[in-house]
Amino acid sequence: MPADTHAEQLPGWEAMATLNGLETAFWRLDTHEALRSHAVLVWILEHAPRWDRLLACFDDVTRVLPRLRTRVVDAPWQWGWAAWQEDPAFDVHHHLERIRLPSPGGRRELLDLAERVGASPFDPARPPWRIVLVEELEEDRAALVIKIHHCITDGGGLREAMLAVLPSSRRSPKRSSGASVLPLQRPRTAPDDTWMSQARAQLHGSRSLSRRAITAWAHAASALGRQALHPARVSGTLHTALSELRRVEIPTPSPLLAGRSLERRYESIEMPLEQFKAAGKSVGASVTSSYIAILLATYADYHRHRGVSHGTLSMAVPVDLRKNKGHTENNMVGVAFLAAPLTSKDLGTRIRTVHQFLRDSRSSGMVQVLPALADFLPLVPPPLLSAFVRRMSAAIDVVPSSMPGVLRPAYVAGAEITSCLAFGPRGNSGCISSLMSHDTTCTLNVHLDPAAVSDLPAFADLLLRNTQELLRLASS
């Protein structure tokens, strides 16, 4: 699948020598099944592409996005930053497989399969991604179930990659002569299991530790103000950072949604993108505000369905900070916490309330500080890190994310992608949801914990009803 744009225009996908602090944390949390950072995409295709062409297509993609040819090598004793290393035995055949969908081959059967793919672990000796070609869907369609580790990229980086590698015509154009394949960079830490090599690597890593700590401090200081790095202001900067952290209050979660398990349930609703946009505009709000309002209304209705008429919903809303601060690397995300009352409101009022919250959250100092402090995560002992993340995420009922997709026709190995579904890593929260657009459609997707939402049919029905209510706003 030759690229439409130059490889140099894909910052964040180069094979950098080291993972950043958040990416290193994502990788180490994989030791706990409940905290795995695996995202699952489902591309619905108009028909099944030829297998040999699909293999050649993704082999070409890995040459344009060389990080897909690298594996993660952790620091000795898991202290310090993990590194990327070229997989010397890389073979695209190790990452692609094909299966037939069980009868009747509908959306539910496809989502059940995607759940199983999402639950399987990665081989740590290989680059952490996997693609399954699913054949024999209803109406002679097919699908690609794509699983990728969050340490490789985030939603914004994935969108940029899709724009670059997915051609807009059925016949893939030749890559322009100006495009080049990004070179692979060797990590500073070699994957040698001998005690002497590990000690040597650790010594080398300790020499750069101070430089990484200074960089991390610079990120934190930039979030608090340009003058924070001045020596006379160091103590004040530290005091400000700690003050900001003390102000973080995780909203009280709903007791009804307190159950946690390792099970997963995927649900997805597809709708016309323009109608969804028009519904938000009708009340002067954004698409993201409308989408989060649907979730809040659904959870409020679900609580009433279960006999609960009061309380709050605990939400952690990701905020992409790359555009705000000029960063080009992936996984630069802040978090805004929202305590949403589970009271009855008309959808228009709910949308406007969410819209104001999102506007306020983007200017919050706390949203900037949290990702800056993430640079220090590789210095936290993994058992302590996993215990903290597990406890923190257990207090979150819902994590709503939004991912703009490719707003034009797109093809893979000659087959048109008709819609895209996205299911993020839930962690130990009750649910992670995502809104993903593609061409003229968008999908609202939820990755639920059945222990938190025990009546899955009722929840799916309420989600559909509230989505339909929102779409009716476009014509009212």
Q: What is the pTM of this model?
A: 0.83
The CA angle 146-6-150, to the nearest 5 degrees, is 30
What pLDDT, on the 0 to 100 scale, is given for residue 275?
A: 92
What pLDDT, on the 0 to 100 scale, is given for residue 204?
A: 45
Q: Give the domain ranges of the chain.
A: 7-165, 198-245, 250-404+425-473
* Cα(37)–Cα(380) distance, integer angstroms: 18
Low-confidence residues of the chain: pLDDT under 50: 1-9, 174-210, 213-214, 216-217, 220-239, 241-242, 325-327
Strands 415-423 and 38-45: antiparallel
What pLDDT, on the 0 to 100 scale, is given for residue 205?
A: 44
Give the helix, strand, coil percentages of the chain, each rounded to 5: 45, 20, 35
> Cα-flanking dihedrals φ and ψ of residue 95, to 5°?
-115, -10
What pLDDT, on the 0 to 100 scale, is given for residue 95?
A: 97
Q: What is the DSSP string of 338-366?
A: EEEE-----HHHHHHHHHHHHHHHHT-HH
User: Are 7-165 and 250-404+425-473 equal in CATH topology?
Assistant: yes
What pLDDT, on the 0 to 100 scale, is given for residue 21?
A: 86
Query: Which secondary-structure segment (H or E) carries 25?
Result: helix 21-28
What pLDDT, on the 0 to 100 scale, is given for residue 365?
A: 57
Quick: pLDDT tens for 352-385.
Answer: 888 888 777 666 656 666 666 777 888 889 999 9
Q: Is 411 within 8 Å of 166 (Cβ atoms)? A: yes
What pLDDT, on the 0 to 100 scale, is given for residue 337?
A: 83
Query: Which secondary-structure segment (H or E) carries 383?
Result: helix 382-394
358-369 CB burial, b ≥16 within 10 A, e <16: beebeebebbbb
Strands 129-135 and 96-100: parallel
Nearest CA-CA partner of 33 in 94, 118, 125, 150? 118
SS3 category, 143: strand
Nearest CA-CA partner of 300 in 313, 291, 289, 288? 313
Q: What is the DSSP string of 297-333?
A: HHHHHHHHHTT----EEEEEEEEE-HHHHT--SS--E
What pLDDT, on the 0 to 100 scale, is given for residue 87?
A: 93
Q: Is 306 within 8 Å of 256 (Cβ atoms)? A: yes
Q: Is 272 within 8 Å of 440 (Cβ atoms)? A: yes
* Cα(146)–Cα(223) distance, integer angstroms: 35
Q: Determine the CATH number of domain 250-404+425-473.
A: 3.30.559.30
The CA angle 153-156-157, to the nearest 5 degrees, is 40
Q: What token pair was written down for 61?
A: 């993609």
CATH topology of domain 7-165: Chloramphenicol Acetyltransferase (3.30.559)
Nearest CA-CA partner of 162 in 331, 380, 406, 466? 406
Give the largest CA-CA distance in the chain: 72
